[in-house]
Structure 1
Amino acid sequence: MTSVKSPVGGHVPVAGGLATGGLKYAAEIGAEAVQVFVSNPRGWALPEGRPEEDAKLREQDAIPVYVHTPYLVNFGSPSAETLEKSIASVRHSLTRGRAIGARGVVVHTGSAVSQSYEDALAQVREAVLPLLEEIPDDGPDLLLEPMAGQGRMLCAKVQELGPFFERLEHHPKLGVCFDTCHAFAAGHDLSSPGGVAETMDALVETVGAGRLKLVHANDSKDICGSAKDRHENIGAGQIGEKPFAELFRHPAAAGVPFIIETPGRSTEPHGKDVETLKRLRDG
């Protein structure tokens, strides 16, 4: 069992300002880490930051900050327009992430849509490797988030991160964001005895130790292998509480922040989920 505690927090709304609104919500739910959007998650606009808000986030050290890129990003898309906008969007998130002192920028691994997987992965290399090379030493890591397995997703199970890391030359600024709901939906049975350890061991074997930088802690509304990305509050879904306790105790997750993306439009359900995860971590 590790003695290194993982901070527990949540994805926070930024109404009222990236730092002002985000940190206020974080305090209300007891968050020890936060994730934010720096642009519309369902659009391509690339807004400028507000220097005074950026400084507030950058200068506080107590709460690790992460950025999630827009959902439209897809480096595997056969559409030249989507690819161009995806590159611009992730570059914007990385730049804004550095401005606010973010430790990592999360990006979905994407879908091949109508082209072959090999062509899509070659496109990932062509698009993403230059972005990685642009990140300065003090810039955020780029964190690949495997998906739930629906459609022609390029990566769902943790073993499918292997081709990504190979084509991206195991770049030192490349990391992983592990989403528990996505993994469960993709077929990793975290709820079964030994399921968490088996999945985490496979992740380390695939990408190497130290590459797991963030956990999206979400229960699942649907059964294992459903390929459905429907999050549930912690302990209220098909995964249950115990696997989250086991995940905290796996060496690969030692000190890695856990961020909830669970249902709820107020601080109450999110605060409860944060409290539950802290109890599972500390119990």
Structure 2
Amino acid sequence: MNNPVGAHVPVAGGLATGGLKYAAEIGAEAVQVFVANPRGWALPEGRPAEDEKLRARTDIPVYVHTPYLVNVGSPTPDTLTKSIAAIRHSLARGHALGARGVVVHTGSSVSQTYDQAMAQVHEHVLPLLDEIPDDGPDLLLEPMAGQNNMLCAKVQELGPFFDRLEHHPKLGVCFDTCHAFAAGHDLAAPGGVKETLDALVATVGEGRLRLVHTNDSKDPCASGRDRHENIGAGRIGEQAFADLFRHPAAAGVPFLIETPGRAPEPHARDIATLKRLRDAV
């Protein structure tokens, strides 16, 4: 199985210049970037020269993560409007820089009902999927850790999303190991990874898993707490990540770390660990 191993990279100094420099320092074979402030609503224009540098690196798969504030399930009209604009912006910027996918959190209903929130998903996200050109990035749904009226935490809860989004061909899944563990998928237990990914495939179909966020967890299974730890240093442990590389659903899928630590040593070590586990398969 050929799984590129990479990381979410900082882009100080330019989206490509800074991001690719950091990727080289830590040995990343794939990268994920923000194209806007992750904790704000501003939607900056791209820098064509930087976009082209990243687009030209066809040897490095690129992914975009939408801002953390995005929540299509929000009952607040202003938040909903800004969320849709932010997703559209990330998709357009992702297309400009040749990204394979744009990751979006599945969100929370906050104070409204689940059905009301999911109706918004259908009404507002399906048109975004239809806007994506054939050579544009996929929209990758990332289930959450399970707290605060989250619309999707367990992989089985992706089913209603895919139903309401009509199993659109540009729709995929980003599987975050820390989120899944926090939501109650015991990846550390014998057979836990296989059981979880089997359930994911049974829910959304083959070929929909298009990215894995490989993060260990500071907290125990079913904690509902999304606190990432370095690979092998948390409650999930190395064996689960080795099992991920072995599962057929993950064949060829990039694995990206979002682990703690300042550049570059801990991230280089995490990537080296994942490469060792991958190469042992």
CA distance in 2, matches of 1:101, 1:5: 20
**Secondary structure of 1:19's partner?**
helix
Partner residue of 1:94? 91
Deviation, 1:265, is 1.4
Deviation, 1:5, is 1.2
2:252 to 251, 255, 274: 255
CA distance in 2, matches of 1:268, 1:123: 43
Deviation, 1:66, is 0.1
Name the TM-score, length of structure 2 as normaliser.
0.99
Partner residue of 2:182? 185
1:132 to 112, 115, 129: 129
**Secondary structure of 1:45's partner?**
coil
Identity %: 80
User: After the TM superposition, which residues 225-240 of structure 1 pair with which residues of structure 2 at under 5 Å, given as runs?
Assistant: 225-240=222-237
What is the one-letter code of the residue matched to 1:235?
Answer: G
CA distance in 2, matches of 1:268, 1:125: 43
What is the one-letter code of the residue matched to 1:281?
Answer: R
For residues 232-260 of structure 1, the C-alpha deviation after alignment (integer angstroms, 9 at most, x for no partner) is: 00000000000000000100000000000
CA distance in 2, matches of 1:176, 1:75: 16
For residues 176-222 of structure 1, the C-alpha deviation after alignment (integer angstroms, 9 at most, x for no partner) is: 00000000000000000100000000000000000000000000000
4+ runs deviating over 3 angstroms: none
User: After the TM superposition, which residues 57-68 of structure 1 pair with which residues of structure 2 at under 5 Å, given as runs?
Assistant: 57-68=54-65
Deviation, 1:37, is 0.1
CA distance in 1, matches of 2:258, 2:242: 17
Deviation, 1:231, is 0.2
CA RMSD of aligned residues (A): 0.4
CA distance in 2, matches of 1:273, 1:194: 23
How many residues get paired?
280
User: After the TM superposition, which residues 15-30 of structure 1 pair with which residues of structure 2 at under 5 Å, given as runs?
Assistant: 15-30=12-27
2:150 to 149, 153, 163: 153
For residues 93-134 of structure 1, the C-alpha deviation after alignment (integer angstroms, 9 at most, x for no partner) is: 000000000000000000000000011001111110000000
Deviation, 1:266, is 1.3
CA distance in 1, matches of 2:249, 2:143: 17
Partner residue of 1:171? 168
CA distance in 2, matches of 1:165, 1:98: 23
Q: Could you list the runs of 5+ residues in structure 1 that have no partner in the other structure?
A: none
Name the TM-score, length of structure 1 as normaliser.
0.99
